[in-house]
Amino acid sequence: MAYANPQIEAIFERLTAGIDKTIEYMKGEFAVMRAGRANPRVLDRISVDYYGTPTPINQMGNISSPEPRQLLISVWDKSALKLVEKAILSANIGITPINDGNFIRLNFPEVTEERRKEIVKQIKKLGEETKVATRNERRDAFDKLKKVKSDKLISEDLVADYEKEVDEKVNKSIELIDKLVKEKEKDIMSV
């Protein structure tokens, strides 16, 4: 939507960007939460000290999933296998790598019901934190709208309309967050 005042436009652009950023962060966190299935994203945050440079594992070789609960890491430089194994162990992801000299295998254990419930609690907590961050974006937008109003750049009626629009955007985002949390919860609890 085009706004008559560039300051109002900037407020809405910042609001949208902030909300999108918080939701993308939540989606990224959801992607690394594991529930018994092999997920290469578990390795995304692990870097290997490769010739003095921290290098992500996915840039050192291929990561495949030959079975639903197994990852197979094929490193291009076989001399780096020990380094990759050491990095995975030190990252403490809860899986012990198996190095056979050619590949590194990660076998994901079956997740117990208790562990699934624990993961669901983490998902709900992350969902709530994302909603709080979204509401903080709303508060910031409201504060900026009040400043524009106090500077007498736009009328009180327009400010009220913009505040309603901010509320609508935030409420839609919270509905999306709830939907994503429910989907992830369902995914984790399905055996």
Domain residues of the chain, as ranges? Answer: 6-32+112-189, 40-107
CATH number for the domain running over 6-32+112-189 = 1.10.132.20
Residue 27 has pLDDT above 80, yes or no: yes
Q: Which architecture characterizes domain 40-107 according to CATH?
A: 2-Layer Sandwich (3.30)
Share the mean pLDDT of the chain: 85
Q: What pLDDT, on the 0 to 100 scale, is given for residue 15?
A: 92
DSSP the chain: ---SSHHHHHHHHHHHHHHHHHHHHHHHHHHH--SSS--GGGGTT-EEEETTEEEEGGGTEEEEEEETTEEEEEESSGGGHHHHHHHHHHHT-S---EE-SS-EEEEPPPPPHHHHHHHHHHHHHHHHHHHHHHHHHHHHHHHHHHHHHHTTSS-HHHHHHHHHHHHHHHHHHHHHHHHHHHHHHHHHH--
CA pair distance 158, 166, nearest whole angstrom: 12
Percent of the chain beyond pLDDT 90? 28
With cut-offs at 50, 70 and 90, classify the pLDDT of residue 91: confident
Residue 77 has pLDDT above 80, yes or no: yes
The model's pTM is 0.70
CA pair distance 113, 174, nearest whole angstrom: 28
Q: Amino acid identity of 145?
A: L
Residue 191 has pLDDT above 90, yes or no: no
Cβ contact 157:167 at 8 Å: no
Could you read off the pLDDT of 97-153 as tens digits, one per residue?
A: 888 888 888 887 777 788 788 888 989 999 999 999 999 999 999 999 888 888 877
Q: For the purposes of burial, counting CB atoms within 10 Å of the CB of 99, is it exposed (0-12), middle (13-18) or buried (19 or more)?
A: middle
